[in-house]
Amino acid sequence: MSSTLPLHVIQLGDEAPDFTAQTTEGEIRFHQWMGDNWCVFFSHPKDFTPVCTTELGEAARLKGEFDKRNVKIIGLSVDGLQSHQGWINDINETQNTTMNFPMIADKEGKVSQLYGMIHPKADDTFTVRSVFIIDPDKKVRLMMTYPASTGRNFAEILRVIDSLQLTTYHSVATPVNWNEGDECVILPSITDPEELKRKFPKGWKEMKPYLRMTPQPNK
Ligand code: BEZ
């Protein structure tokens, strides 16, 4: 039977909904907590589950990489604070790390609903594995959705942050399988020869008028 509840759908470019929540590092107001940073906000189906345990361990180990990129990370699971604390002990013990970012205790599912993290046809209680990458203006810049059974790839999360930050501040896009340091694509909208020379002093290769490759501008 289809639901009559209005579905809250977040789209790229929307303002990330603000909320107040209890976390393992105290109560936060989300936008205020982010400050002028970027944010990776990711959900976990449930506490004391194996895939989530490995993901949270990896995120904690990569904290230095997120810090370098001015990115704050925050997790969410639909269990309470006491449960989170017990689980964090297990994560620290088994994943050779110390949890170093907050986990939202979303027992009533308010934040999960706000962000569309519960997909009833997958599971009507637990969240899917959502990732929202939010910029310092609080705009949603990237979303990924994985099922509970597939752990996320944190190398890919760092890769897309690098692409988002590069393409936000320079007039390029990143091509297939791009990684930090690889050639970039010049935005087709840039056609003025003087602007091209100023923005791409290292030069470019033109294969088609719309397909021009240039060395990564900020390297
Ligand atoms: C996990 O995190 O391991 C998991 C959670 C829910 C379903 C399957 C796996």
**CA 54 to CA 87: how far, in whole Å?**
12
Q: What is the DSSP letter of 172?
A: E
Q: Which residues are near ligand 1 (CB < 6 Å)?
A: 45-46, 49-52, 148-149
**CA 184 to CA 116: how far, in whole Å?**
33
Instruction: State the distance from the centre of ligand 1 to the C-alpha of 20, rounded, in angstroms.
Output: 26
What is the pLDDT at residue 1? 39
Torsion of CA 2, 7, 10, 11, to 10 degrees: 60
**Predicted TM-score (pTM) of this structure:** 0.94
**Which residue type is seen at 76?**
L
What digits encode the pLDDT tens for the residues 137-192?
A: 999 999 999 999 999 999 999 999 999 999 999 999 999 999 999 999 999 999 99
What is the pLDDT at residue 97? 96
Name the residue of 53, 79, 149 to mutate for ligand 1: max ligand atoms within 8 A of Cβ: 149
Strands 184-186 and 211-214: antiparallel
Residues of the chain whose pLDDT is less than 70? 1-8
What is the pLDDT at residue 8? 65
Instruction: State the distance from the centre of ligand 1 to the C-alpha of 212, rounded, in angstroms.
Output: 44
What is the pLDDT at residue 2? 45
**CA 74 to CA 56: how far, in whole Å?**
10
